[in-house]
């Protein structure tokens, strides 16, 4: 079977490269990892290896041509798979390999699923928002896909008509492979493309759909919008999702919605075509197995990588927030009229950024063998959000150049997006230090795990009104919050994090000092 090799990401921000030298020719037999060609980006010379054993059937570019990232680079017959019947007729195909031509003379284009998050190689098709034959416009939402980090909406790149969906709802789609095909409005076929090439490329276009079998989920309806974890819970409880009112955006259903539905109308929630099951209250010695996947699996891997490679140490302190709470109370109503939701978090974030200016090592990253330390000018401060699809840590970019109001607006935007499961990949990338607000749920002291490759994280405890002594020795009520730092002991010593915390604490305990530092 002839397979296209999709040119992968070859550097941050690289979208194209020049073919410097082909190291093989059409008809050559190659082995896995054998160099196929040298390409030149605007940063470096990169060698592209083969990913399978087989025979090169087509080189889509000539030496000196400009190749596009995420587009086919060459095709090969993979060893052990039946050879394609259309390879010979496809030899005369035009250089633009992702374009095809229909028999009606319309230019067809495959939409290649782009990178949708750092380290993401595949995703599940949660919902198609269009059907084959639908007319769509540029930037219109085409489908929802679920990665192991978030629910992502894929938009159309052009205006035109959907010709083919390569995957069905529930299928796993691979990054850098065709997701759907469309005819682009205003484009017609190239006059020299033969019908044999059309047939060959149409056969090739059907391959992604042949490789994946649709998953059968009987109780699901196309109008039931829910994540894979929620649908799995519905299957376990024999709940028909089409009967469950969703509390999320566009009626999206969460686990809590299923529980509420069961509590309110259990007789309606149980599927009528299944055998009644024994009450869980009478079950003895039973067990169930639930796969760890999606965001939970990603978090598990990240946490294991962090604690197994980073020597953590924890530093705890308490902060008196009495003055800051009073100032926020005075400003809250004023900014609410302007549409600004002024919580405590923007002050924590901005004070952290101000302290980083004097302790830049807290905003650094160390390489794997601990031989280099990279300092970042931008303070991209992440905040852990306990969303309904799992723990997400979006970050606010360039906090050092934002006002508290700017930070507040970003906190609101990212929190709402995270709780709805729709944080963009860019918002999840590039964090340099993190805040975990565990106190919003409960608890005072924690031992947070560093969000590798960052070097520090702070956990905020719950706010408590406790007795303390004032300067005159009188007992007063103070708004106290415990904070717990974890630092990478390879690059941060105890004295450094203590002094850094003292500065951060001083900004929070004396808001006037923080305002002066911002000027």
Which residues have a catalytic role annotated?
489, 493
Contact 357, 450 (CB under 8 A): no
CB neighbours of 234 closer than 8 A, spacing ≥ 6?
219, 220, 226, 240, 241, 244, 258
95 is written with which tokens? 């250089």
Contact 5, 59 (CB under 8 A): no
CB atoms within 10 A of CB 309: 15
- Rounded distance, CA 5 to CA 56, Å? 10
CB atoms within 10 A of CB 331: 14
From 245, 171, 247, 183, select the one nearest 212 (Cα to Cα). Answer: 171
CB half-sphere exposure, 12, CA atoms < 13 A: 6
Contact 435, 384 (CB under 8 A): yes
Q: Residue 466: which H helix or E strand, with range?
A: strand 456-469
CB neighbours of 366 closer than 8 A, spacing ≥ 6?
372, 373, 374, 453, 455, 488, 490, 491
Contact 227, 257 (CB under 8 A): no
Give me the residue label for tokens 């009626």.
251
- Rounded distance, CA 160 to CA 137, Å? 6
CB neighbours of 394 closer than 8 A, spacing ≥ 6?
382, 383, 385, 414, 417, 418, 423, 427, 428
Helix axes 511-518, 322-337, angle to 10 degrees: 60
Contact 456, 463 (CB under 8 A): no
CB neighbours of 239 closer than 8 A, spacing ≥ 6?
219, 233, 258, 261, 262, 269, 270, 271
- Rounded distance, CA 181 to CA 188, Å? 15
Alpha-carbon torsion angle 343, 349, 354, 356, nearest 10: 170
Which residues are paired to 78 by β-bridges?
54
Which residues are paired to 456 by β-bridges?
487
Length of the chain: 519
């Amino acid at each position: 079977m002839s397979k296209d090799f999709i040119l992968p990401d070859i550097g941050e921000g690289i979208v194209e490269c020049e073919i410097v030298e082909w190291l093989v020719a059409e008809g050559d037999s190659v082995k896995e990892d054998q160099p196929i060609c040298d390409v030149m980006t605007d940063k470096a010379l990169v060698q592209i290896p083969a990913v399978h054993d087989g025979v090169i059937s087509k080189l889509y570019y000539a030496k000196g041509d400009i190749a596009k990232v995420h587009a086919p680079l060459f095709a090969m017959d993979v060893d052990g798979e039946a050879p394609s019947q259309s390879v010979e007729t496809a030899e005369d195909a035009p250089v633009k390999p992702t374009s095809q031509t229909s028999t009606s003379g319309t230019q067809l284009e495959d939409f290649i699923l782009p990178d949708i998050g750092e380290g993401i190689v595949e995703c599940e098709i949660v919902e198609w928002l269009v059907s084959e034959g639908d007319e769509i416009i540029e930037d219109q939402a085409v489908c929802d896909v679920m990665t192991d980090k978030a629910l992502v909406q894929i938009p159309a790149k052009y205006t035109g008509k959907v010709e083919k969906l390569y995957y069905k709802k529930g299928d796993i789609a691979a990054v850098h492979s065709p997701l759907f095909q469309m005819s682009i409005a205003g484009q017609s076929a190239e006059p020299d493309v033969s019908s044999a090439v059309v047939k060959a490329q149409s056969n090739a276009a059907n391959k992604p759909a042949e490789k994946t079998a649709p998953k059968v989920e009987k109780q699901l309806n196309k109008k039931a919008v829910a994540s894979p974890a929620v649908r799995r819970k519905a299957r376990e409880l024999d709940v028909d999702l089409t009967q469950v009112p969703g509390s999320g955006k566009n009626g999206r259903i969460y686990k809590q919605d299923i529980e509420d539905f069961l509590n309110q109308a259990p007789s309606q929630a149980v599927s009528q075509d299944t055998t009644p099951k024994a009450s869980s209250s009478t079950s003895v010695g039973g067990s169930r197995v639930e796969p760890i996947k999606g965001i939970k699996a990603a978090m598990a891997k990240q946490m294991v990588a962090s604690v197994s490679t980073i020597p953590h140490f924890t530093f705890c302190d308490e902060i008196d927030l009495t003055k800051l709470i009073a100032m926020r109370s005075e400003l809250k109503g004023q900014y609410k009229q302007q549409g600004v939701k002024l919580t405590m978090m923007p002050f924590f974030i901005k004070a952290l950024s101000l302290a980083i200016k004097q302790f830049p090592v807290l905003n650094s990253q160390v390489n794997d063998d601990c031989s280099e330390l990279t300092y970042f000018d931008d303070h991209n401060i992440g905040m852990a959000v306990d969303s309904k699809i799992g723990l997400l840590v979006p970050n606010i970019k360039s906090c050092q150049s934002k006002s508290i109001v700017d930070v507040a607006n970003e906190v609101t935007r990212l929190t709402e997006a995270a709780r709805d499961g729709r944080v963009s990949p860019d918002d999840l990338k590039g964090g340099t230090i993190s805040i975990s607000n565990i106190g919003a749920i409960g608890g005072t002291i924690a031992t947070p795990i560093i969000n590798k490759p960052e070097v520090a994280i702070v956990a905020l405890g719950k706010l408590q009104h406790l007795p303390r002594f004032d300067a005159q020795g009188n007992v007063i009520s103070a708004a106290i919050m415990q904070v717990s730092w974890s630092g990478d002991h390879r690059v941060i010593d105890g004295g450094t994090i203590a002094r850094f915390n003292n500065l951060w604490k001083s900004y929070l305990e004396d808001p006037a000092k923080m305002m002066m530092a911002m000027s």
